[in-house]
Amino acid sequence: MAEPEPPQAAVDRTLESRLEPFDQAAAAAGYMKAGDFLAFLDSAETGAPRGQDRLAQVLESQGVWLLVVLILVGGLALNLTPCVLPMIPINIAIIGAGAQAGSKGRGFVLGGVYGVGIALVYGLLGLIVILTGSRFGTLNSSPWFNLGIAVVFLVMSLAMFDLLSIDLSRFQSTATPGQSGRGKFVTALVLGGVAALLAGACVAPVLISVLLLSTDLYARGNSAGLLLPFLLGVGMALPWPFAGAGLSFLPKPGKWMARVKVVFGVLIVLFACYYAYLGVSLLRQRSAAGSPPAGSQQGDGEGWLTSLPEALDEARESGKPVFVDFWASWCKNCLQMEKTTFKDDEVAARLEAYVKVKFRAEDLKAPDTKAVLDLFNVVGLPTYVVLVPK
């Protein structure tokens, strides 16, 4: 007697048969403003190559060196995102800047080590995603990760309001000079890695785009694709050696720092509340009935379907193209898309020509969910796929 077919294989076979009458016209990931989203639909409707995005276009038209420059500049710009900015004054205070580090030279090295932590995290993340087929965002789907981040942010906010003193230097005061130096460098390295992880929500569109391009290059036999996520981290790390050295182009200390400190404190409290809410919500979902069924959605208003097989069947009968939105409740950019871009009148009007379906990928490791994401080569959320009838 033949052994029963594994659930994931059954899902693969069923979906593959339903997908047979369709071609994947285009795919994109990350938050998009209305104009960018409409341009994505234009590319899908005009027959742009599958997976074509701006970075891929640059690679094909201008060559690898311009692509490297763009990735470095993109990484540098990530320091200005709201997920990274609240960390900057705290991390500078901990790793030391200028005289606090003992000398500008030592501060420069400390800042460089901090940057190495950032680059290593993105580099390792790229290797994991490309070589193992993992997905960016898995940590965000864990309630314990979100609750842990909430606690970290809460402690940081208390320090911002001077309700709690965070002084790592006292651990170094009892050590020998050599040990103190090593301890400081290890602290800087760990802080860089933590900053890279905490920036996940804000850097997701850029990082997912780089990961998709890296995966595509590696699949073509170009091992250089493995280095692109590391280069993104290097770009983000570029200003930190100078910040650690306390060079003169940085703002001078003064009374303004007290006001900025309070502003950052309020921002960090808001971050803590958000992560706590997210963690508690995920715990409630798991305790109520495990993970939500793959593809489920909190309501199907405005013409959105919640079943991918149902959407494919309807599209096959009507001859319409299919628009698939892969999302999750823990995905910040997914929720932002729902509140902004998908509410835009022009976007809503354009999507009327499609069979629209929202696939809820709440647990990225669930077998049924993973099978569907593998079929569409979804690296992270949100991801949008356009299918057109053959």
pLDDT in tens, 205-243: 677 778 767 776 776 667 777 888 999 999 988 888 887
Helix pair angle (88-95, 143-160), 10° resolution:
70
181: in domain = yes
Cβ 288 vs Cβ 351: under 8 Å: no
Out of 289, 315, 334, a domain closes at: 289
* 238 and 295 within one domain: no
Q: How far apart are CA 226 and CA 185, in angstroms?
A: 27
CATH (domain of 334): 3.40.30.10
Entry pTM? 0.57
Residues 40 and 67 in one domain: no
Q: Do residue 98 and residue 197 come from a single domain?
A: yes
Domain range spanning residue 252? 63-289
DSSP letters for 107-155 = HHHHHHHHHHHHHHHHHHHHHHHHHH---TTTGGG-HHHHHHHHHHHHH
**pLDDT for 64-116, tens place per residue?**
677 778 888 888 887 777 667 666 666 676 666 544 555 777 778 888 888 89
Q: Looking at the structure, tell me whether residues 85 and 127 fall in a common domain.
A: yes
**Within this chain, do residues 166 and 271 fall inside the same structural domain, yes or no?**
yes
- Check whether residue 43 and residue 71 sit in a common domain: no
Q: How many other CB atoms sit within 10 Å of the CB of residue 13?
A: 12
Write out 300-322 in H/E/C secondary structure: CCCCCECCHHHHHHHHHHHCCCE
Residue 116 shares a structural domain with residue 174: yes
Asked if residue 188 lies in contact with residue 114, where contact means CB atoms within 8 angstroms, the answer is yes
Claim to verify: residue 213 and residue 311 sit in the same structural domain: no
Both 230 and 302 in one domain: the answer is no
> Of all residues in the chain, what percent carry a pLDDT higher than 90?
19
Domain boundary residue, one of 228, 260, 289:
289
DSSP 355: E
Report if residue 347 sits inside a domain. Answer: yes
Q: Which of 233, 258, 289 is the last residue of a domain?
A: 289
The identity of residue 309, as a single letter, is P
In a domain, 193, yes or no: yes
Measured in degrees and rounded to the nearest 5, phi and psi for residue 109 equal -65, -40
Same-domain pairing of 226 and 374: no
Q: What is the pLDDT of residues 242-266, one digit of tens each?
A: 877 765 444 554 565 567 667 767 8
- Number of domains composing the chain: 2
